[in-house]
Amino acid sequence: MPAEPLLTVTDLTVEFDSTDRRRRGQRFRAVDGVSLSLAPGETLGLVGESGSGKSTIGNAVLGLVATGPGSRIVFDGEDITQAPPKRRRALGSRIQVVFQDPYSSLNPSRTIGQTLGEPLRATGVDRRETRSRVADVLSKVDMSPDVAARYPAQFSGGQRQRIAIARALIRDPQLVILDEPTSALDLSVQAQILNLLIALRRDAHLSYLFISHDIDVVRFFSHRMAVLQHGRIVEEGDVDAVIERPREPYTRELLAAVPVADPREQRRRRESRSSVVTGSR
């Protein structure tokens, strides 16, 4: 791994107010002492089931949720844990995000061109330059420049996800948080989007924090991975090491639960699984 990490998260905790009425006033710890680091050009997969806190980690790096005391997030040598709003806005050009739901991630009342060009216009880029950069970024995600004049309603889920990726890339960020970017997509569309993300990573030397519940996708797409459970990292390491030689029981249980697309192998695993899993929940 290169010496200087792009992102270092140390002892991250995030707490929310409990939504359960009987436990009003109590705090619920969504992320609990998570530390991780990400090198330039590297993809780190965060995998876990619902409620494991994986998305909250992404939101904390993006400054969308408040972090608990003692948490430290360092990006490119700068402590951004409590970055003031102005500094945070400036980071928008370097840390970007692609969300899961391609339907609610684009404002339906703004054209694609308005959505993509907005951060440029807001930082004083002129109209003509904005238009040409919008066209550039659209071609990067394999869409024609004339989609800029259209509204999100006219696009399919896969096309919207391309547009969301274009929005993330328009200011040439160094780090992109991918929060379940393909979970809402069909298998064949997922394959296209994964290929696109791999090509973009290679061309622009991007770092990805890849958040997913799908272990197969994480294995295929990431260099390293961290397995999360109840807000804690259970196991972390190179993808091959974690998948081939899991050390923790939870990782083993998770891996055993993923059905493989091979009936013979699946039958074998089903039989061995019953020895791994102790009772049902």
The footprint of other proteins on residues 185-244 (CB under 8 A) is: 186-196, 198-199, 213-217, 219-221, 239-240
CA distance 269 to 266: 5
Cα 199–202–203 angle (5° rounding)? 85
Q: Does position 266 bind other proteins by CB under 8 A? A: yes
In the complex with other proteins, which residue's Cβ is closer, 64 or 70?
64
CA distance 165 to 115: 12
CA distance 64 to 92: 12
CA distance 155 to 132: 22
* 35 DSSP 8-state letter: E
Q: Does position 19 bind other proteins by CB under 8 A? A: no
**Which of 7, 60, 62, 234 contacts other proteins by CB under 8 A?**
62
Handedness of CA 267, 272, 276, 280 (dihedral sign): positive
Stretch that binds other proteins, among 31-39, 74-82, 93-101, 125-133 (CB under 8 A): 93-101
In the complex with other proteins, which residue's Cβ is closer, 4 or 216?
216
Q: How many residues bind other proteins (CB under 8 A)?
A: 84
**Which of 18, 107, 205, 247 contacts other proteins by CB under 8 A?**
107
CA distance 73 to 163: 29
Q: How far is the CB of 226 from other proteins (least distance, A)?
A: 17
Q: Does position 81 bind other proteins by CB under 8 A? A: no
CA distance 113 to 244: 45
Looking only at residues 114 through 143 of this chain, which bind other proteins when binding is defined by CB under 8 A?
A: 115, 118-119, 122-123, 142-143
Stretch that binds other proteins, among 31-39, 70-78, 125-133, 182-190 (CB under 8 A): 182-190
Residues 6+ apart with CB under 8 A from 165: 98, 141, 181, 193, 196, 197, 200
Q: Does position 106 bind other proteins by CB under 8 A? A: yes
Q: Does position 95 bind other proteins by CB under 8 A? A: yes
**Which of 75, 99, 208, 210 contacts other proteins by CB under 8 A?**
99
In the complex with other proteins, which residue's Cβ is closer, 13 or 182?
182
Task: Write the burial class of residue 126 (CB in 10 Å: 0-12 exposed, 13-18 middle, 19+ buried).
Answer: exposed
Q: Does position 263 bind other proteins by CB under 8 A? A: yes
